[in-house]
Structure 1
Amino acid sequence: MRRVLRILLIAGLLLTAAGTVPETARVEAAPSRALVQFPVYSPSMHRTVMNNVLPAPGGGKAPVLYLLHGAGGGSDHIGWEWNTRYREFFRNKDVTVVSPVGGAGSFYTDWRSRDRKLGLNKWQTYLTRELPAAVNRHFGGNGRNAIAGVSMSGGPAIDLAARAPRLYRAAASYSGCPAQALGFPAVMGTVIGQGGNPLNMWTPSDYVVHDPVLNAARLRGTAIYISAGDAGLELPVRACSDASAAALRAQGIRVTSDGLRGAHSWDVFEGGLRQSWRVIGPAIGA
């Protein structure tokens, strides 16, 4: 375990050197499932959040996958809906896919304080209480859920599953860094890159509380998937992903991980999504 922690520390330092990694874009062609815009009022954030939803094709009750965006939160029109063929991938799969739009630089967590630039962020509350309740009412969720994130939201996706173990049966990180405590300089850099103040997000102790590697017991029974590429600025992300997977396995958590070919790009992100389905699909019965 001590050796794994040393690896995680090195990975965190590498992520700091990499800084905020850009997400290269690719435009989707010929989408295969209708995308529904679903506004949900968040009492905790005092605003309405728009969510892009791919309803399950069967029309009845179905599992739900909450698929989070990267550093821009999708408000910049960079995300699954615009840069991948995910509609084609999910065309015949019995699952409702939900992507909230917003949360740039938020790490999809509950912030300690309102931020002058990024506003009031209570994304953990939204994603574990408010949004699932609304999705279940309007789209017929059957109670079997998974959550996945990319880049900025990779680690938070696994943390959210740890925060709400009865809600999410599976969680995935695509080109993210689940070991958030040791990668905290990169976390802070991402928040600053979006114009926010990281001191409004977490205190130093919160980085420990929200690190799923340091709170692995909360993930027992949850199917975990982690992937990253192998080129360019993706290298420190790969180091952190591999070390996080090893640390979780050392604590008895069921983890499936893949090393993919490529840089920090939507080709690699989408590749991770497709590979992860062998873990997520069976976990939620989709």
Structure 2
Amino acid sequence: MRVAFAGPRAGRNHSRFIAALVAMATVIGLAGVVGGAGQADARIGGTSVGREQFYVNGCGMPAVKVRAWKRPGNYKTVILLDGMRAQYDYSGWEINTNVQEMVRSGVNVVEPIGGPASFYTDWDAPSNFNSQPYRYMWNCVITRSLVSALDARGYRVGASRKYAIAGLSMGGNASLVIAAQNRHNFDRAASLSGYDFLSAPGMHTALRLAMFDVDPKPWNIDAMWGPPWGIRWFQNDPMLNINRMHGMKVFIGSGNGLFGKYNALPNVFDDLFKGSTLELLAFTQAKAFEAAAFVQGLPVMTYYAAGTHAWGYWQDMLWNAKNRGFFR
């Protein structure tokens, strides 16, 4: 799926684990804007919809590119996080979906770009396996640099004056934790095929295998939050942050691993041996999170449907959330 007014047409950005995760599928388990940033396409299609591109401070990483869509009078701004194979030219959301069109019906859309295999978190150290020259500091970028830049550009809108955040796969569980731990800036979060029970048995190994297959490969997961018994694995587990989500709107979406309307030739083989098993894992984790949220008295908006780990389904999930009032 592609956006009518989105110029780039890069290849699909699949955020997927390798097929070796079949054995894991049973788991229920610094602030400021960089100077001189440019703005483009003040008006699109003769409407008052504005699209801009700018850069924000990378908190020790290179400056982070951001593309955003805004319209006067909109009632909410959502920050969209990408998946495991995030690119450095455009967000997979822009390349593969039409969700930027939400700007025409009330919701400003913001897409930070880059960070493959980052889990949008601050890493303990650079990944030494692939000689990463700096350590990831994505939590700092999103919660400090990006929010400050958006505030300065008038994206803090609506009655609550807070942002929404949503992501798919690795960006899904990151969205939940970022929002839960930064309630002064966020009041709703959505996880689409995310991994919402990261401290579950086997997840550390599953993610290690996945990150071995992401360019520039291989990534060392121990450089992220340390060994599986390290405290940061628990601090970044959405399941263990439910107690901090009360008063937030939370949306959990997942396919069930079965083929649906977006599964067709020539991708059937890939969808079957990667997309299906990966989405089944996301589905079991989503259900576990939903059950834990119910026990703790946290209302959760859910969306489950036939489908695999693929962009068409994530587009549908986000539109479903919007159409049901998630951003209101």
CA contact under 8 A between 2:234 and 2:240: conserved in structure 1?
yes
Q: Does 1:41 align with 2:60?
A: no
Q: How does 1:56-71 map to 2 (within 5 A)?
A: 57-58=71-72, 63-71=76-84
CA contact 1:15–1:237 (8 Å) conserved in 2: no
Shift of 1:166: 2.0
**Cα separation, 2, equivalents of 1:131 and 1:62:** 19
What's the CA shift for 1:217? 1.1
Q: How many residues align?
A: 255
Give the partner amino acid of 1:16: M
- 1:133: which partner in 2? 148
The equivalent position to 2:222 in structure 1, one of 184, 195, 199, is 199
Please say if 1:281 is aligned against 2:327.
Answer: yes
1:120-153 alpha-carbon deviations (Å, 9 max, x no partner): 2111111111110111102342332111010121
Which whole-Å CA distance do the structure 1 matches of 2:286 and 2:98 have between them?
A: 24
The structure with the larger Rg is 2
Q: Which of these residues, 100, 107, 114, is aligned with residue 126 of structure 2?
A: 114
> Which residue pairs with 2:305 in the alignment?
260
Q: In structure 2, do the counterparts of structure 1 residues 225 and 130 end up closer, same or farther at CA, with 3 Å as the change threshold?
A: same
The residue that corresponds to 1:96 in the other structure is: 108
Alignment identity in percent?
29
Instruction: Give the deviation of 1:47 after TM superposition.
Output: 2.1
Q: From the two aligned structures, give the one with the greater helix fraction.
A: 1
Cα pair 2:76 2:327 within 8 Å, conserved: no
How big is the alpha-carbon RMSD for the aligned residues of Structure 1 and Structure 2? Answer: 2.4
User: One-letter code of the match for 1:163?
Assistant: Q
Any conservation in 2 of the 1:61–1:139 contact (CA below 8 Å)?
no
Q: TM-score, normalised by structure 1?
A: 0.81
CA distance in 2, matches of 1:263, 1:257: 16
Shift of the 14–242 alpha-carbon distance from structure 1 to 2, 3 Å rule, reads: farther
CA gap 1:209/1:76 in 2 versus in 1, 3 angstroms = same
The separation in 2 between residues aligned to 1:251 and 1:242, in whole angstroms, is 14
**Are 1:214 and 2:235 matched, yes or no?**
no
User: Which position in structure 1 is the counterpart of 2:24?
Assistant: 16
Distance in 1 (alpha carbons) for counterparts of 2:90 and 2:162: 29
User: Is residue 103–residue 109 contact of structure 2 (8 Å, CA) maintained in 1?
Assistant: no
